[in-house]
Chains A and B, each alone.
Chain A
Amino acid sequence: MSAIGYRGVSYGYPDGPLALDGVDLDVHAGEILLVVGSSGSGKSTLLRAANGIVPHSTGGRFGGDVTVFGRSTRTHLPRELADVIGFVHQDPEAQFVVDRVEADVAFVLENLGHAPDAMRRRVEEVLDALGIAHLRDRNPATLSGGERQRGAIAGALAAAPSALVLDEPTSQLDPQGAESVLAAIARLNADLGTTVLLAEHRLERAAPLADRALVVDRGTVRYGPTAAGPALADYPGAPSVTRLGRLLGWDPPPLTVRDARRLAAEPGRAPMPTFAESEPSAPNPATGALATNEPARAAPGEVLVAARQVEVTLARTTVLRGVDLEVRRGEVVALLGRNGSGKTTLLRALAGLRTVDRGTVRPKAAVAYVPQDPNSLLFAPTVREEVAQTVRLLGRTDDGAVAAWIDALGLHDLASRHPRSLSGGERPRVAIAAVAVGGAPVLLLDEPTRGMDAASRHVLEGAAAGHATRGGAVVLATHDVELAARCATRAVVLADGEVVADGPARTVLGGSLFAPQVLRVLPPFLTVDEVDAAMERS
C-alpha cells in the first residue's frame, strides 16, 4: 500500500525556476526510503512536498498531486496533516519553540487539541522511545547536536504519525550525534513500523539502513526507487565500499564494510589489484589530487607555522595540553579527533585568533582561518562582492586573486548570485574563497565538509591540493575520514587536548579507529581512486 504517493508533481518557487519537474513516486508503508542527490537537485523540495510545506508555507506554483495516507496536500494544509506525517530538518538549533524539551515535545499535541492525560502519556512514551527522558527539563540550548535532533524527532513523533520525513537530519552533527540519530530512526522503523522518508549526504551510515533508495537530479527522479545498492552504485556520493564494488564489478554493490569483505573473500573473484609502495604516480587530472600518499612524493618544505607546548584553558577546563605541531609548505594536514578534543581551539591558536596560556605559536607566514559556520561570514549581495570585500578590507588591490579563487572553488557560475541563496554545499566554498583570497600561505579549514554534497567535496579536495602544490599549506580539521584519506598527506589525531598521533596519512589512518572503508576491505589501499590507479597500471 502506498503511504505517500506523488503523481506528476511539478513545483516552482515564487519568482524562481522549476524545482520539481514531473515526479512520480510511491513510498511504501513501513519502509525506509533514502533520497539522495546533489545540492540544489530538488531533494529538499521533494521532501517538503510530502507534508504540504511545499506549496502552502512556501508559496509558488504547484502542479500534480501528493497524497499522504489518502489525504491530498492540495486540499490539506500542513497542520492538517500533522497527525499522520512528521517533519524534521537539518538545523538542530531551529526546531524548538519553547526552551524546555518536554514542553516542546508537547507542542504538537497542544495544537491538535489532545486531552491533558493523553498528552502526558504520549510525551512520556515518545521521550522514552528516543532515549531522552533524562533530558526533559533541560533547555535545548544546553544539549548537544545529536540530543537536540532526537528532541526534534520526538516533537515530530508525539502525535503518533505513521510517516516521518527527515531532511538531512545528521548533516550538522558530529559522528556520535549522527550515529545516535540514525540508530533512533532505525529503531523507530523497526519497532513502530513508521514509514521514513530520509534525505542524506553522508551515506556511509545511512545507506545500510535503507530499504530502497532513489537519486534526484534537477527536479526529477533520475534513478530508482530500488534497493539501495544498485540505486547508489553510479552516484558520485555513494559510500566508498559501494563505489569500490562498482569498480571491481561486484554485484550487487555492497553497502557496508561487512558485505564488501564477504564479497572480496568469495572464491572465484578476479584477483585484487596489488599495491605498489614505491611507484610514484601521476596526479589525477580530474581532481588535481595525487592518488597515493607517498611520504617521499614531494619533500615537505620549510615550516610555515610552529606550535610548541601549547596549552589553552577555556572556562576552567584545559582544552589543549602540551601540543606540538609543525605545518610545512606543501602539506595537506588532516586534523582528526572527537568533538571536544580541541581541534577548533588549536586552529584558532595557530591563526592567532586565540592567545595561548602557555607555550608558543610561531607563524613564519600568514595564517588564515576559515570558520566552521560559513553563515557567520557571508553578508555581501553577490559572491564576487563577498570575495572582493576581503581584498578591500586588507587594503590591497585585486590583482586577479579574486577571480583565481572563485575559479579554484568552482564558483564561476555562481559569482553573481546572492550567497544566501546558495545551497548548503556551496556556501562553505564561498567562505573559503573569501578568506583564502587574503593570500595567506597557510589555510586552516574547520570542518569544511559539513553538509556538503559529493561534488562540492570534490572541488574542495582539488582546491586544497592545488593550494598545497603551489607552495601553501592546508590544515583540515574534520570528522570525515574519507576526506582525509583522499586528500591529506599527513594526519594528526587529537584526543582530550593532546596529540596522540602525528605522521604520514597512510600510517596514521591505518590505525583502527580512523580507517576509511576501503582500507578495511582492501588494505593497504586508502581510497577508491588508488584502487582505480592500481588497476590501470596492471
Chain B
Amino acid sequence: MRTPTETPRPWHSGAWSVWALAAAACVQLAPSPVYVALVIAVAWLVVEAHAADGPYRHAFPALLGLGVAFAFIRVLIAALTTHNGLEVWFTLPQTTVPDVLGGFTLGGTVEATVVLQSLASGFTIVGMMAVFGAFNAVASHYELVQSSPRAFHELGLITTVALAFVPATIESAHTASESDRARTGGLVVRRGRLLRTLVPVLERGMERAIALSESMDARGFGATPAARTDRVAGWFGLGALLALGGAFVALIGRASPTAAALGFVGAALLVAAVALASRADRRPRYRLRRMEGADWVLAAVSVLAPLALGLCSVAGADSLVWRASPLAWPSFDPLVALALAPLLAPLLRVPDPLWRRRTAIVAVFRRQNSGGVVA
C-alpha cells in the first residue's frame, strides 16, 4: 500500500502566490483596521483548512507574532516622540536627544491620536505578516522551486540541494555537539566549543558536497556552452535593468509618465529575457505539476478583490482609510467587505483531513527529536 506523505495539494503553489499577493494588495488598499481584521480572519481560515502538519504550519502564528512585536515597538516610538498637542492622554517627563542623534524629544505628551494612528498602521503590518504567514503554511515550497522558469534551473537546484541537506546538517550539528561532550567525558568545556562544533559540521558538509558533486557529474549534470538564445536573453536582461534605471531617473526629474513607460518597458524586456533563456533549455521536466484550469480560476478570482477595492476607492468610499483625528470609530461599509469576499475562494476545495496528519516532514522532525541515531 502506498502511504503518501505528500498527496498533491488542492491548489498549485503558483495560484497560492497570486492569492497572497492579492491579499497583501488588499491590506494596502484598505488599511482601515476593520478591513485588515477581515483579511486576517480570512488568512486564519485558509490556514486552518489547508495547512499540513509539519514545520511550516507554525509559519502563520510565528509571522503573526513577529508583526505584533514590530507594531508594538512602532507604537511605543511614535507615542514617545511625536507631539502634536492634541488629545493628550498623559504627560511623561521629557528629555531632548542631542542634535547629533537627531534632536528629537523623548517623552513628553502621549497623545491619543498619535497612539491610535500608529496602532492602526501597525495593524496593517500585522495584516501583511498574516497573509504571508498563511502563504508559507499552505504552499509547497518544493513545488514553487520546481515550477520556476527553466532559466533559473541552477539556482533552483541550489535551493533543492540545500533543502535536501538541511536534515543532515541538523543531525550533524547534534552529533558534533554530543561528540564534543563525549571527548571530555561528559563535561562541557565552553572555551573553544563553538569552533569544535562548527568546524566538524562545516567540514562534513563540504565533504558531502564534493561527494554529491561527483554523483551529479556522473549523472549528466554540468556546464554547457552558451547558446545564441542565452546571449540574447542576457542582453535583454541588461536592457531591462537600464530601462528601470531610466525610470528612476525620470521619476527624479518629475516626469512620471516617462517613468511609468520605461518601467513597463523594463518589465517587458525582463519577461522576454526569462522566456528566451527558458526556451534555450529544451529539456522537459519530470512530472511537472502544471497549473490547471482550476488554479488559473483561483488566481483570477483572487485578483478580483484588489481590483474591486480599487474601484471602491475611485468611487469615493471613505471607509477604506481610517484617520485618528478627528477621533471616531472606523466605519464599516458592507460593499467593501463584499469586495474582500473573493479572497475566500481557496476554501472551496479543501484537502483530505487524513492527509494533513501524515507528512514526511513530521517524520523527519520526529527523528531529529529522538536524539539522533538510535541503535
Contact = CB atoms under 8 A, between A and B. Distances in A.
| A–B: direct contact at CB < 8 Å | yes
B293 interface: no
Nearest to A431: B179
Contact of B364 (A108, A116, A142, A434): A142
Interface string B278-294: 00001111110000000
Contact of B208 (A94, A108, A159): A94
A315 interface: yes
A344 B371 CA distance: 11
Interface string A105-127: 01111111111100110010000
Given A137-B4, A371-B178, A435 B183 contact: yes
Given A97-B157, A103-B286, A137 B220 contact: no
Q: Which of A51, A354, A378 has the most CB of B within 10 A?
A: A378
A373 B284 CA distance: 40
Given A89-B211, A97-B164, A137 B5 contact: yes
B357 interface: no
B364 A393 contact: no
Given A57-B214, A93-B168, A97-B161, A352 B363 contact: no
Q: Among B3, B214, B282, B373, which residue has the most Cβ atoms of chain A within 10 A?
A: B214
B217 A79 contact: yes
A96 B162 CA distance: 11
A340 B179 contact: no
A265 to B, nearest CB: 39
A111 B371 contact: no
A99 interface: yes
Contacts of B99: none
A298 interface: no
Nearest to B359: A139
Interface stretch (A183-191, A214-222, A324-332, A362-370): A362-370
Given A111-B220, A438-B183, A119 B286 contact: yes
Given A371-B182, A420-B203, A142 B363 contact: yes
Q: Which residue, B204, B212, B375, has most C-beta atoms of chain A within 10 A?
A: B375
Contacts of A113: 282-284
Interface in A58-107: 77-79, 81-83, 85-89, 91, 93-100, 102-103, 106-107
Nearest to B170: A141
Contacts of B160: 97-99
Contacts of B238: none
Given A86-B218, A95-B212, A353-B178, A106 B286 contact: yes
B167 A342 contact: no
Contacts of B175: 371, 373, 376
A138 interface: yes
Contact of B213 (A57, A155, A368): A57
B356 to A, nearest CB: 15
Interface in B178-209: 178-187, 189, 191-192, 195-196, 199-200, 203-204, 207-209
A93 B208 contact: yes
Interface string B361-372: 101101101110
A70 B3 CA distance: 44
Interface in B1-26: 1-6
B302 interface: no
A137 B6 contact: yes
B375 A344 contact: yes
Given A119-B286, A371-B182, A379-B200, A94 B212 contact: yes
B220 A108 contact: yes
Interface in B94-131: none
A138 B286 contact: no
A96 B166 CA distance: 12
A402 interface: no
A390 interface: yes
How many residues of B sit at the interface, in one of the four size bands? 35 or more
B242 interface: no
Interface string A121-156: 001000000000010011111100000000010011
Contacts of A48: 214
Contacts of A156: 218-219
Contact of A375 (B142, B182, B183, B200): B200
B202 to A, nearest CB: 9
**Which of A83, A342, A353 has the most chain B CB atoms closer than 10 A to its own CB?**
A353
Contacts of B182: 351, 353, 368-371, 377, 435
B163 interface: yes
Q: Which of B183, B196, B360 has the most CB of A within 10 A?
A: B183
Contacts of B179: 371, 373, 376-377
A111 B283 contact: yes
Contacts of B189: 393-394
A107 B184 contact: no
A216 B2 CA distance: 45
A110 to B, nearest CB: 6
B184 A319 contact: no
A420 B203 CA distance: 8
Contact of B167 (A114, A141, A379, A447): A141
A13 to B, nearest CB: 13
Given A106-B287, A390-B183, A77 B222 contact: yes
A458 interface: no
B216 interface: yes
A344 B168 CA distance: 19
Given A371-B178, A394-B184, A342 B375 contact: yes
Contacts of A123: 286
Nearest to A444: B182
A53 B200 contact: no
A343 interface: yes
A89 B364 contact: no
B373 A379 contact: no
A367 B196 CA distance: 21
A351 B186 contact: yes
Contacts of B5: 137-139
A15 to B, nearest CB: 16
Contact of B200 (A108, A376, A394): A376
Contacts of B142: 99-100
B176 interface: yes
Contacts of B364: 139, 141-142
A238 B88 CA distance: 90
A385 B373 CA distance: 29
15 contacts: A95-B212, A98-B164, A107-B221, A111-B221, A116-B285, A116-B287, A134-B2, A137-B4, A137-B6, A340-B374, A368-B182, A371-B178, A375-B207, A376-B204, A394-B187
Interface of B: 1-6, 142, 146, 157, 160-161, 163-164, 167-168, 172, 175-176, 178-187, 189, 191-192, 195-196, 199-200, 203-204, 207-209, 211-222, 282-287, 360-361, 363-364, 366-367, 369-371, 373-375
Nearest 8 A/B pairs, CB to CB: A111-B220, A315-B370, A87-B218, A82-B220, A106-B286, A94-B208, A141-B167, A108-B219
Given A94-B207, A116-B284, A351-B182, 19 more contacts: A53-B217, A79-B217, A87-B218, A89-B211, A95-B211, A97-B216, A103-B146, A106-B287, A116-B287, A119-B287, A137-B6, A139-B167, A141-B167, A142-B364, A155-B215, A342-B375, A351-B186, A367-B185, A377-B200
